[in-house]
């Protein structure tokens, strides 16, 4: 994901796909023109990258130049009158191939045809890297098309959003869904995830989803999910992945307008982490960070036994269940540190100290994202 000015864009067409399309176009034009030396004309500004790559791939001698269409300054009219800059050569009798980065409505193409009407060229061929069939409103023939794309705003590979993005070697698409900040709050049972999530959700206006809380709510209300979950939770074991993943997805869907989420107690396995990535992708979003509260085991046991005196949680009341939960954490969950560290998204925070001090450490980490 990238940000240009105020908008977010997601990867859409890779540099490799672009390269393949340009190669194909260059070969197709060369096959059709044989030994005739074409005059390639790029339409500035957007086509500069395409033209550079195209002529490098063109297997035969060719000439290349650029033109630019500019609106007359100060002239306001419904038919935007354009003037041409840069066409100085005599093109009489030549085969001209217009190289365009993108054709959408076809307005620029209309001007190009108007301008070339009196140039006496032998033939005027149109080659465009990208073409939006849903937006095209003209009848001019497009002789070579690199790639058809849907009618969405794109940037990169010469195309800009208000001046930015032309330099990107791949193409990005405007993200129309709201930008979210999504944080996985991580750490062993008793690390303080729930306590801290309550502060963070207020401060950053995020929705807090604790899978443990959702299970406990279901247990309290004797739902089928609650009964199933209870058989695992009471033993300090993890609830099966698919059950947990389905539940988490339902919770996310309930909050379609969220500005982001704090995931607390999820993911706890590799399968859950992968499912979460897919879910975020389906929302044009991603996990921004895993922030882990680091606390030693003996402090955890002490904290959980203390909490068990008032929380009413059966799994907090018994030291052996507490130790089983911590063991489950190291066996199945701690590996997720690597999952996020590999993506440079892991941030460890010292989880020992006063609640306020720990909140401050977490905020420092989040503010830097
Ligand atoms: P917690 O409140 O996060 O400590 O969770 C309490 C219990 O709920 C855990 O010990 C598990 O049995 C179950 N649980 C919570 N989240 C998950 C999850 N992501 N995957 C599997 N089981 C979970």
Q: Which of 147, 201, 216, 325 is flagged as catalytic?
A: 325
Kindly state the average pLDDT of the residues 118-127. Answer: 96
Q: What is the pLDDT of residue 69?
A: 85
Q: What is the pLDDT of residues 228-284, one digit of tens each?
A: 999 999 999 999 999 999 999 999 999 988 999 999 999 999 999 999 999 998 888
Q: Which residue in 12, 14, 62 sits closest to 41, CA to CA?
A: 62
Q: pLDDT-derived band of residue 78, with 50, 70 and 90 as boundaries?
A: very low
171-174 and 144-148: which strand pairing? unpaired
Is the torsion defined by CA of 92, 97, 102, 105 positive or negative?
A: positive
Cα–ligand 1 centroid distance for 332 (angstroms): 12
Say what the pTM is: 0.66
Q: What is the pLDDT of residues 205-222, one digit of tens each?
A: 999 999 999 999 999 999
Cβ atoms within 10 Å of 139's Cβ, excluding its own: 7
Nearest atom in ligand 1 to 210's CA = 3
Q: What is the pLDDT of residues 302-329, one digit of tens each?
A: 999 999 999 899 999 999 999 999 999 9
| Whether the predicted pLDDT of 153 surpasses 50 | yes
Q: Which of 7, 166, 313, 337 is flagged as catalytic?
A: 313
Is the torsion defined by CA of 352, 355, 357, 362 positive or negative?
A: positive
Q: Which residue in 53, 137, 54 sits closest to 103, CA to CA?
A: 137
Output phi, psi for 68, to 5 deg: -135, 135
Kindly state the average pLDDT of the residues 106-125. Answer: 92
Q: pLDDT-derived band of residue 178, with 50, 70 and 90 as boundaries?
A: confident
Q: ∠ at Cα 272 (336, 274), nearest 5°?
A: 80
Q: pLDDT-derived band of residue 176, with 50, 70 and 90 as boundaries?
A: confident
Structure tokens at 108: 């620029």
Active site residue 268: yes
Active site residue 307: yes
């Amino acid at each position: 994901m990238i940000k240009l000015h105020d908008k977010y864009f997601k990867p859409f067409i890779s540099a490799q796909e672009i390269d393949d399309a340009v190669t194909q176009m260059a070969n197709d034009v060369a096959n059709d023109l044989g030994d005739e030396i074409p005059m390639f004309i790029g339409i500035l500004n957007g086509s500069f990258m395409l033209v550079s790559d195209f002529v490098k791939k063109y297997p035969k001698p060719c000439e290349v130049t650029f033109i630019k269409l500019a609106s007359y300054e100060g002239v306001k009219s419904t038919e935007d009158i354009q003037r041409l800059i840069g066409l100085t050569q005599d093109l009489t009798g030549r085969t001209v191939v217009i190289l365009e980065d993108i054709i959408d409505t076809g307005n620029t193409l209309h001007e190009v045809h108007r301008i070339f009407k009196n140039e006496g060229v032998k033939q005027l061929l149109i080659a465009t890297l990208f073409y939006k069939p849903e937006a095209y409103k003209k009848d001019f023939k497009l002789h070579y098309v690199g790639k058809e794309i849907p009618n969405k705003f794109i940037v990169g590979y010469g195309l800009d959003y208000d001046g930015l993005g032309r330099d990107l070697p791949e193409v990005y698409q405007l993200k129309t869904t709201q930008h979210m900040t999504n944080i996985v709050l991580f750490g062993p049972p008793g690390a303080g995830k729930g306590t801290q999530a309550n502060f963070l959700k207020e401060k950053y206006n995020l929705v807090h989803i604790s899978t443990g809380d959702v299970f406990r709510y279901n247990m309290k209300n004797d739902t089928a999910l609650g009964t199933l979950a209870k058989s695992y939770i009471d033993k300090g074991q993890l609830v099966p992945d698919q059950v947990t993943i389905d539940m988490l997805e339902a919770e996310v869907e309930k909050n379609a307008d969220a500005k982001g989420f704090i995931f607390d107690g999820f993911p706890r396995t590799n399968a859950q982490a992968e499912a979460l990535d897919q879910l975020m992708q389906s929302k044009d979003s991603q996990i921004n960070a895993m922030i882990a509260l680091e606390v030693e085991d003996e402090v955890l046991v002490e904290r959980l036994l203390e909490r068990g005196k008032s929380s009413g949680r059966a799994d907090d009341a018994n030291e052996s269940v507490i130790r089983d939960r911590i063991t489950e954490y190291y066996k199945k969950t701690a590996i997720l540190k690597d999952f996020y560290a590999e993506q440079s998204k892991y941030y460890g925070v010292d989880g020992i100290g006063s609640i306020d001090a720990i909140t401050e450490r977490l905020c420092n980490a989040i503010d830097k994202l």
